[in-house]
Amino acid sequence: MVRVLLYTGKGGVGKTSVSAATGIELASRGLKTLVISTDPAHSLRDAFQRDIGNDPVQVSENLYLQEVSVTESIRKYWDTLKLYLTALMRSQGVEGIAAEEIATLPGFDEATELLYIREYARNNRFDVVIMDTAPTGESLKLLSFPEAFSWYMERIFPIGRKTAKIMRPLMKPFLGVPIPDDKVFGSIEELYSQMREVEEILSDPKITTIRLVCNPDRMSFNETKRAFTYLLMYGYNVDSVIINKIYDDDTGDFLKKWRESQSEVLKEIETAFADLTILKIPMSEKEPTGLKLLEQMGKKLYKNLDPMNTMSDIIPPIQFLVEDKQKIIKIRVPFADKENTELHNRGGELVVQIDNWRRVFFLPQSMSELNPVNAEFNKGYLDIEMS
């Protein structure tokens, strides 16, 4: 079974370098490793100082790199769907829409990259796939896409969640909407079930682990806390925080104040993320590019730890519980606060919004008829009472 390790964090903190270093480390341990970049501003090529294409290229024994091109992946996966969506929009009076513009559905284009993850999870071409992502906001958009996409699809087309089949009789009431032919139906169903698979791969703690990369400064720390909260809300598993670019003691007088503030922030990070593993990397004298320097970075980062392991206890981010006959949904959101959290029930769906990030929960059968009647923050969890 493939393992997926995803590195995310604020812009410039070292996601690409850490992904590259991890790739080199795992390849040297004999695992067939792919580092895949989903950041449209690809910089794997800079880290490895060589050209990389849309298909995996081998750079050393066991190590492959891929920079996904959005245009290529749309071409590969989306043609038929775009045609149908265009027809659907036209029939609704939306004129002059180009198939290309359909791809501007939020996150649509970059999300095609996720289909590669599904492909690699299925064909076992690699033992481990390391995802080097774009800065936090973009990667959250990417990671929230599969679920949002399923949601849209289930509304545009009446698709059964279990069967992934479109319920055709239900299509009739949309008068004037062209009922697509079998080929198009087939491709819509296929796409839907592929995205559902992506959702499952990314939220399965045995397959996917997310690691937060940050620097020991306050802005990066704050962003890391928020990212952690949103990732948990989406049901992802995070096992560690990698603090990069720490100034060593021998960095001279000029950086004295920086070292002091770094050590303060370091302590705060350690307290805030006490239930995760904290890994540290010093600021190096030179930019860590090229196989040799990145390999050294990997050694400093993992020491005797195995990057393939989940480095902290797996705590389910979302639980559906029954306590004293009361049905409760428990969501782990350690750094969310009441003011920035909103909850409502929309036709049997539970909508949770923290800051600008929203998740629609498909309730399990036992709760589908219930409404949220009370919600409280309790030791890093949001407990929602359903009745």
Q: Can you name the residues that pair with 385 across neighbouring β-strands?
A: 328, 374
Spatial strand order in the sheet of 33-37:
57-60, 63-67, 33-37, 128-132, 3-9, 208-214, 238-246, 277-282
Residue whose structure tokens are 């003011």? 339
Q: How far is the CB of 65 from Mg ion (least distance, A)?
A: 13
Helix 15-28 with 290-302: angle, nearest 10 deg: 90
- By CB under 6 A, is residue 12 in contact with ligand ATP? yes
| Nearer residue to ligand ATP within complex by CB, 15 or 226 | 15
User: Residue 14 touches which of ligand ATP, Mg ion, none (CB < 5 to 8 A by kind)?
Assistant: ligand ATP
Residues within window 214-273 making contact with Mg ion, judged by CB under 5 A: none
Provide the b/e sequence for 257-291 (b: ≥16 CB within 10 Å).
eebeebeebbeebeebbeebebbbbebeeeebbeb
Q: Which of 32, 196, 245, 332 binds ligand ATP (CB under 6 A)?
A: 245
User: Residue 12 touches which of ligand ATP, Mg ion, none (CB < 5 to 8 A by kind)?
Assistant: ligand ATP
| Nearer residue to ligand ATP within complex by CB, 242 or 331 | 242
- By CB under 5 A, is residue 16 in contact with Mg ion? yes
In the chain, alpha helices (H): 15-28, 44-48, 70-77, 79-91, 99-102, 108-111, 114-123, 136-156, 182-203, 218-233, 256-272, 290-302
Nearest-CB residue to Mg ion?
16
Candidate ranges 66-74, 82-90, 139-147, 285-293; the one touching ligand ATP (CB under 6 A)? 285-293
Q: How far is the CB of 12 from Mg ion (least distance, A)?
A: 8
- By CB under 6 A, is residue 38 in contact with ligand ATP? no
Question: How many residues sit in the footprint of ligand ATP (CB under 6 A)?
Answer: 18
User: Residue 359 touches which of ligand ATP, Mg ion, none (CB < 5 to 8 A by kind)?
Assistant: none
Are the C-beta atoms of residues 170 and 90 closer than 8 Å to each other?
Answer: no
Strands (E), 231-346: 238-246, 277-282, 318-323, 326-332, 341-346
- By CB under 6 A, is residue 100 in contact with ligand ATP? no
Residues within window 39-78 making contact with ligand ATP, judged by CB under 6 A: 39, 43
Q: Which of 284, 310, 345, 353 binds ligand ATP (CB under 6 A)?
A: 284
| Nearer residue to ligand ATP within complex by CB, 282 or 334 | 282
Distance (Å, rounded) from C-alpha 73 to C-alpha 84?
18
The residue ranges that bind Mg ion (CB under 5 A) are 15-16, 43
